[in-house]
Structure 1
Amino acid sequence: MFDWIGTQLGPWTWWVVGLLLLALEVVIPGIFLMWFGIAAIIVGSLSLMLWTESYWIWQMQVIIFAVLAVISALIGRRVIAGQDDVSDEPLLNQRGASLIGRTATLKAPINEGRGRIHLDDTTWVVNGPDLPVGSRVRIVASTGSTLKVEPVSEISAPA
């Protein structure tokens, strides 16, 4: 069967394999088959030029395909890893970090460094200097589900 494919399609066999791999990448996404498809198309291009040469046997083609597949996968991995995804919402999944800079009123006093505030729809555990209930605090840091706060200095506006 494989002999028939090679004799009927000739140098176009690698092009068919490459395009098939690229089509499979669309169906089975993972950015992996694409690199094999590119390697197959390169071998197909070489086959168009070297098909009549005596040394261009199928074993040579398979070895070149394997080498090119590894090289293209490594280059592709480096290219994809080098991309910095810039987001318009960099703190989307970091809710505590997105609260830094906001102010709130203590719902529970900070005793021995721990207290509670209520922001939006969540009650947060806070760490900071001891303060009574009702004190205004500013969030300065976030570690997991605990916020670090400092008292807001009430500066009166000039008259």
Structure 2
Amino acid sequence: MPWWIWILIGLVLLGVEMVTPGFFLFFFGVAALVIGAMVAFGVGGPEWAQWLLFSAISLVSLLVFRGPLVAWMRSQELVSPVDTLQGEVATPLEDLSPGAVGKAELRGTAWTVQNGDKGTLTKGQRCRVYRVEGLTLWIQAE
């Protein structure tokens, strides 16, 4: 098979992989590109050998690299910045009685907070975020 057909197949498979999840077609696309390059440089051999090599490269790379690649991609998933606020120090911008909702400053931004402490939190007092519910931070005195 001509080298350009292998390259075209590889590019189509990589393009389809971009719109499908799972890192499955990626390895077949890369294998087709490798075979296309080999045929272009004259080391592809007969057509049956190209298909055999394509199958071997696809399956071996799929079995060896797919698991670690999927695990790495899952570990790179973004954590919502709001979820990282638990344990941070916030300072109320107003006095907050127990259970009251108000504003507090955290990381240079005003947040909606709820006083989860038994006592009143005064303006400027150091408080710790102990719970996050949506965009509301629950704070208590340090």
Q: TM-score range by the shorter chain?
A: 0.5 to 0.7
Report deviation, 1:40.
Answer: 0.9
Amino acid at match of 1:100: E
Q: Distance in 2 between matches of 1:91 and 1:18?
A: 34
- 1:91/1:67 CA distance change after superposition, 3 Å: closer
- 1:46/1:105 CA distance change after superposition, 3 Å: closer
Scaled by the length of structure 2, what TM-score is found?
Answer: 0.56
Q: CA RMSD in A?
A: 4.0
Report deviation, 1:102.
Answer: 2.2
In the alignment, structure 1 segments of 5+ residues that lack a partner are 1-5, 152-159
**Contact (CA 8 Å) 1:103, 1:137: kept in 2 or not?**
yes
- 1:141/1:34 CA distance change after superposition, 3 Å: same
Q: Distance in 1 between matches of 2:79 and 2:11?
A: 40
* Match in the other structure for 2:129: 141
Determine if the alignment matches structure 1 residue 118 to structure 2 residue 103: yes
The percentage of aligned residue pairs carrying the same residue is: 16
**Contact (CA 8 Å) 2:89, 2:126: kept in 1 or not?**
yes
**Structure with larger Rg:** 1
Number of equivalences: 128
Q: Distance in 2 between matches of 1:18 and 1:104?
A: 58
Q: 2:45 aligns with which of 23, 42, 51?
A: 51
What does residue range 1-150 of structure 1 map to in structure 2 within 5 Å? 6=1, 9=2, 11-24=3-16, 28=19, 32=23, 33-47=25-39, 48-52=42-46, 57=48, 61=51, 63-73=52-62, 75=65, 78-79=68-69, 81-82=71-72, 93-94=81-82, 97=85, 100-105=88-93, 107-110=95-98, 114-119=99-104, 120=110, 122=112, 124-128=113-117, 130-132=118-120, 134=122, 136-145=124-133, 146-150=137-141
Amino acid at match of 2:131: T
- 1:132/1:30 CA distance change after superposition, 3 Å: closer
Q: Distance in 1 between matches of 2:79 and 2:89?
A: 13
Scaled by the length of structure 1, what TM-score is found?
Answer: 0.52
- 1:140/1:133 CA distance change after superposition, 3 Å: closer
Amino acid at match of 2:65: I
- 1:147/1:91 CA distance change after superposition, 3 Å: farther
**Contact (CA 8 Å) 2:130, 2:140: kept in 1 or not?**
no
Report deviation, 1:44.
Answer: 3.1
